[in-house]
Amino acid sequence: MSAKYDESSFKVLRGLEPVRQRPGMYTTLDNPNHIITEVVDNACDEALAGYSKCITVTAHADGSVSVQDEGRGIPVGIHPEEGVSVVEVAFTVLHSGGKFDKASGGAYRFAGGLHGVGVAVTNALSTAVEVTVYRDGGEHYLRFEHGVAVTPLARIASCAKRKTGTIVRAWPDAKYFDNPNVNLPQMERALRAKAVLLPGVTITLNIGQTGESKSWCYPDGLRGYLAEALSDQELAAPIFTGERYIAREGDDTFVEGEGAAWALTWAEEGVITRESYVNLIPTWSGGTHDAGLREGVFHAVKSFIDLHNMLPKGIKLTSDDVFSRVSFVLSTKLLDPSFQGQTKEKLVSRNALKLVSGMVSDPLLLWLNEHIEYGKKIAEISIKQAQSRMKSTQKIEKKKGSSVAVLPGKLTDAAEFNPARNELFLVEGDSAGGSAKQGRNKEFQAIMPLRGKVLNTFEVDRDRLFANAEVHDIAVAIGVDPHGMHDHPDLSGLRYHSIFIMADADVDGSHIATLLLTLFFQHFPKLIVNGNIYLAQPPLFRIDIPAQGKKPLRKLYALNTDELAVTEDRLRKEKVREGAWNISRFKGLGEMNPLQLWETTMCPDTRRALRVELDAGSFLAAEHTMTMLMAKRESGSRREWLEFHGNEVTGDV
């Protein structure tokens, strides 16, 4: 490690270099599918806007992939600020594109491209990219090699003025991916799903190695796709489909055109099919729109059951009971969606839950009452699931009742004992603990407030661990004995599926979270390996936006200063007057009222918790790092590490 640390130590990554330095921040690295999908998404956005009826993807024998559409074609003129063609800007400048202006009159009203890094990432992680644009009566061509334009964009031929569109051919760079070849079955599935979501659009996949060609066009849209997926199953009811979008008049909360289309059904047995999309982007990990569908379906079915007095005495229905046997395809349109990560696998826009729930609930309830026979069949499936769940819970309670240690007095436990679902929040301070107790869902969430900072247990022997009252109470609450990474502990007594470390979003909170992570790493590592430990992500800022025209007063939250800056930029683009919004900084969790704490940090549908991950292969490296950071004898190594990484720290003053 060099002792030199001066002005020359600072590096500024420009152009596409940030992508090459940290490709995992921008795309998945198991194969190049995602960087090709970024190009496909642009073609689909043209189809979504109504300008393309045919999209062709070709996997060439040399490992390259090309995507062709019949859209408007990327603008070929010179960008007024960058001084090069717009095509070159799109492929070489991060955070550039035509999808930022979502207001009326913008190039795209609804689009999957949000951050302006899509095709620039494709270019950065490819050995070569060729772009052909048909526009303004000409064929225009540009080639990139290792992210750099070989020559400026040139018009190489004339074409009919009616002919428009874009062809992008990319050669993925093998050094960035575990497998350098495109996963064709995965690509095929993604393209077929795009065709479902774009009724009337034909999407074709050509495989150059075999000469095989496949095309998809679904005139029946979501219904036909779901029926095909469930063709070998016996359905309890016909597929229920619908679509609803916000009209211009009469809605102050959402924007014109926002809404959802869906197809869903129930089956008592068989594999469940669940797929969701936002502006044609597949959200494989679900998100708030999935949660909205779940909530809307639950309210409709619960209302039907109550109306027909079908619920047996002593049975309490939950959304999991109603939704456990549901298969669905959901396509949501949002003006300005927020995703978790650049790969957009999970939607985190909080307003999507309310939007989708409101769209689905009333039409489904009406359909159930118009089809009483099917409605009662669906109700019976839901009630049977509830009875099975409650029976299982009772068995667990009886088995454990006589042998469980006395739980800590400060633990406010969940109403139901269901280790497969229940959650425990280890909360910093009694004040925040009080808000968490009021804001939680009592059915499955437990709260345990911690006073002060937990002991650093990294060098504490296991037989002396319970001498500390806080550590003792945590161990008793979770129901698992301390153990090592190479032990085989009995985890059958684990009382909670998820354990959340919920500390303030400041330096002291980070310190407490670090001490708790040390406890779990050193003495309960199997809980981390099994994915039971999470870090809650409370926001640091609240932004109050005044009412604008038909838009009511809004409250937004930001996890940190970077997210605050992004939110303020978005407000400026929405034409909110500079300075009209008010920013409040939470000094701690205790400053949040119960509703705020629930919506931002505890609600499973809207929170953004981070799961702590550890596997056997990375344990030695993690142990080395933890020893350097937490062991008392390692103060010298710790000081060197802090001096080297000091420039990466942002002060919290």
Closest CA to 524 of 514, 512, 532: 532
Provide the CB-side half-sphere exposure for 73 (13 A, CA). 19
Residue 53 CB neighbours (<10 A): 14
User: Which residues are the active-site residues?
Assistant: 428, 504, 506, 508
Task: Answer whether 43's CB lies under 8 Å from 166's CB.
Answer: yes
Q: Report residue 120 as tokens.
A: 């620039």
Which residues share a beta bridge with 427? 449, 502
Task: Answer whether 1's CB lies under 8 Å from 643's CB.
Answer: no
What 3-state class would DSSP assign to 414? coil
What φ, ψ does residue 565 adopt, rounded to 5°?
Answer: -65, -40
In angstroms, the CA 515 to CA 141 distance is 57
CB neighbour list of residue 618: distance below 8 Å, 6 or more residues apart? none
How is 590-622 classified by DSSP, letter by letter?
GGS-HHHHIIIII-TTT---EE----GGGHHHH
Task: Answer whether 72's CB lies under 8 Å from 66's CB.
Answer: no
Closest CA to 19 of 4, 6, 3, 38: 38
Q: How far is CA 513 from CA 100, 152, 507, in A?
A: 37, 52, 10
Q: How far is CA 307 from CA 370, 375, 531, in A?
A: 13, 11, 41
The residue type found at 371 is H
Closest CA to 65 of 112, 24, 32: 32
